[in-house]
Structure 1
Protein backbone atom coordinates (compact mmCIF):
# COMPACT_ATOMS: atom_id res chain seq x y z
CA UNK A 1 0.00 0.00 0.00
CA UNK A 2 1.20 3.48 -0.79
CA UNK A 3 0.57 6.69 1.12
CA UNK A 4 0.09 7.07 4.82
CA UNK A 5 -2.86 5.68 6.73
CA UNK A 6 -4.68 9.01 6.97
CA UNK A 7 -4.59 9.50 3.19
CA UNK A 8 -6.06 6.05 2.69
CA UNK A 9 -8.80 6.52 5.30
CA UNK A 10 -9.60 10.23 4.88
CA UNK A 11 -9.10 11.45 1.32
CA UNK A 12 -7.25 14.75 1.00
CA UNK A 13 -9.57 17.59 0.15
CA UNK A 14 -9.24 21.33 -0.24
CA UNK A 15 -12.18 23.08 1.40
CA UNK A 16 -13.51 26.63 1.25
CA UNK A 17 -12.34 27.47 4.77
CA UNK A 18 -8.64 26.82 4.15
CA UNK A 19 -6.32 29.75 3.68
CA UNK A 20 -5.09 30.34 0.14
CA UNK A 21 -1.49 30.54 1.37
CA UNK A 22 -1.74 27.27 3.32
CA UNK A 23 -3.09 25.50 0.25
CA UNK A 24 -0.31 26.92 -1.93
CA UNK A 25 2.33 25.82 0.57
CA UNK A 26 0.91 22.31 0.84
CA UNK A 27 0.12 21.89 -2.86
CA UNK A 28 2.25 24.16 -5.08
CA UNK A 29 0.77 22.45 -8.15
CA UNK A 30 -2.51 24.35 -7.60
CA UNK A 31 -0.95 27.74 -8.45
CA UNK A 32 -1.99 27.46 -12.15
CA UNK A 33 -5.56 26.69 -11.05
CA UNK A 34 -5.78 29.91 -9.05
CA UNK A 35 -4.24 31.86 -11.94
CA UNK A 36 -6.62 30.29 -14.47
CA UNK A 37 -9.52 31.44 -12.29
CA UNK A 38 -8.21 35.01 -12.20
CA UNK A 39 -6.58 34.91 -8.79
CA UNK A 40 -3.08 35.90 -9.86
CA UNK A 41 -2.17 38.01 -6.83
CA UNK A 42 -1.22 35.02 -4.72
CA UNK A 43 1.60 36.71 -2.84
CA UNK A 44 -0.33 39.81 -1.81
CA UNK A 45 -0.93 40.49 1.86
CA UNK A 46 -4.60 39.59 1.54
CA UNK A 47 -3.81 36.07 0.41
CA UNK A 48 -1.88 35.37 3.59
CA UNK A 49 -4.99 35.00 5.73
CA UNK A 50 -7.72 34.96 3.10
CA UNK A 51 -9.76 31.80 2.76
CA UNK A 52 -10.56 30.26 -0.57
CA UNK A 53 -14.22 31.21 -0.04
CA UNK A 54 -13.47 34.87 0.62
CA UNK A 55 -11.00 35.03 -2.27
CA UNK A 56 -13.56 33.54 -4.65
CA UNK A 57 -16.20 35.98 -3.40
CA UNK A 58 -13.88 38.99 -3.81
CA UNK A 59 -13.05 37.93 -7.38
CA UNK A 60 -16.65 37.05 -8.31
CA UNK A 61 -15.80 33.40 -8.91
CA UNK A 62 -17.88 30.25 -8.78
CA UNK A 63 -16.62 28.74 -5.50
CA UNK A 64 -17.83 25.23 -6.32
CA UNK A 65 -15.99 25.20 -9.65
CA UNK A 66 -12.82 26.58 -8.08
CA UNK A 67 -12.87 23.91 -5.37
CA UNK A 68 -13.54 21.21 -7.95
CA UNK A 69 -10.56 22.32 -10.03
CA UNK A 70 -8.27 22.64 -7.00
CA UNK A 71 -9.18 19.17 -5.74
CA UNK A 72 -8.72 17.70 -9.20
CA UNK A 73 -5.20 19.16 -9.25
CA UNK A 74 -4.22 17.50 -5.96
CA UNK A 75 -5.99 14.27 -6.82
CA UNK A 76 -3.81 13.92 -9.90
CA UNK A 77 -0.55 14.66 -8.07
CA UNK A 78 0.41 10.99 -7.78
CA UNK A 79 -0.60 10.21 -11.34
CA UNK A 80 1.89 12.61 -12.97
Structure 2
Protein backbone atom coordinates (compact mmCIF):
# COMPACT_ATOMS: atom_id res chain seq x y z
CA UNK A 1 0.00 0.00 0.00
CA UNK A 2 1.45 3.37 -0.95
CA UNK A 3 1.30 6.54 1.17
CA UNK A 4 -1.46 7.99 -1.01
CA UNK A 5 -3.65 4.94 -0.39
CA UNK A 6 -2.99 5.19 3.35
CA UNK A 7 -3.98 8.87 3.33
CA UNK A 8 -7.12 8.11 1.34
CA UNK A 9 -8.15 5.57 4.00
CA UNK A 10 -6.90 7.63 6.95
CA UNK A 11 -6.84 11.34 6.02
CA UNK A 12 -6.11 12.26 9.63
CA UNK A 13 -2.67 10.67 9.23
CA UNK A 14 -1.47 13.44 6.88
CA UNK A 15 -0.89 16.00 9.63
CA UNK A 16 0.80 13.47 11.89
CA UNK A 17 3.13 12.29 9.11
CA UNK A 18 4.08 15.88 8.32
CA UNK A 19 4.76 16.65 11.99
CA UNK A 20 6.93 13.54 12.23
CA UNK A 21 9.02 14.74 9.29
CA UNK A 22 7.62 12.58 6.51
CA UNK A 23 7.08 15.34 3.97
CA UNK A 24 6.12 12.92 1.21
CA UNK A 25 2.65 12.88 2.76
CA UNK A 26 2.17 16.14 0.91
CA UNK A 27 4.08 15.54 -2.32
CA UNK A 28 3.44 13.69 -5.58
CA UNK A 29 5.61 10.73 -4.50
CA UNK A 30 2.84 9.73 -2.08
CA UNK A 31 1.15 8.03 -5.04
CA UNK A 32 4.16 5.76 -5.55
CA UNK A 33 6.13 5.38 -2.32
CA UNK A 34 5.30 2.91 0.38
CA UNK A 35 5.43 4.02 4.00
CA UNK A 36 8.55 1.91 4.47
CA UNK A 37 10.32 3.48 1.50
CA UNK A 38 9.30 6.99 2.56
CA UNK A 39 10.59 6.33 6.07
CA UNK A 40 13.90 5.03 4.72
CA UNK A 41 14.33 8.04 2.42
CA UNK A 42 13.80 10.36 5.38
CA UNK A 43 16.11 8.38 7.69
CA UNK A 44 13.29 7.12 9.88
CA UNK A 45 12.65 3.72 11.39
CA UNK A 46 9.42 2.40 9.88
CA UNK A 47 8.49 0.47 13.05
CA UNK A 48 8.83 3.62 15.17
CA UNK A 49 6.85 5.56 12.59
CA UNK A 50 4.05 2.99 12.68
CA UNK A 51 4.04 3.12 16.47
CA UNK A 52 3.62 6.91 16.37
CA UNK A 53 0.83 6.67 13.80
CA UNK A 54 -1.05 4.07 15.81
CA UNK A 55 -0.95 6.11 19.04
Gaps of 5+ in 1: 1-17, 73-80
Give the structure with the larger helix fraction: 2
Q: What TM-score does the superposition give when structure 1 sets the normalisation length?
A: 0.60
> 2:15 matched to 1:32?
yes
State the aligned residue count: 55
Instruction: Name the Cα RMSD after superposition.
Output: 1.3
2:2 corresponds in structure 1 to 19
Gaps of 5+ in 2: none
SS in 2 for 1:50: coil
> Contact 1:39/1:59 (CA < 8 Å) preserved in 2?
yes
> Contact 1:37/1:61 (CA < 8 Å) preserved in 2?
no
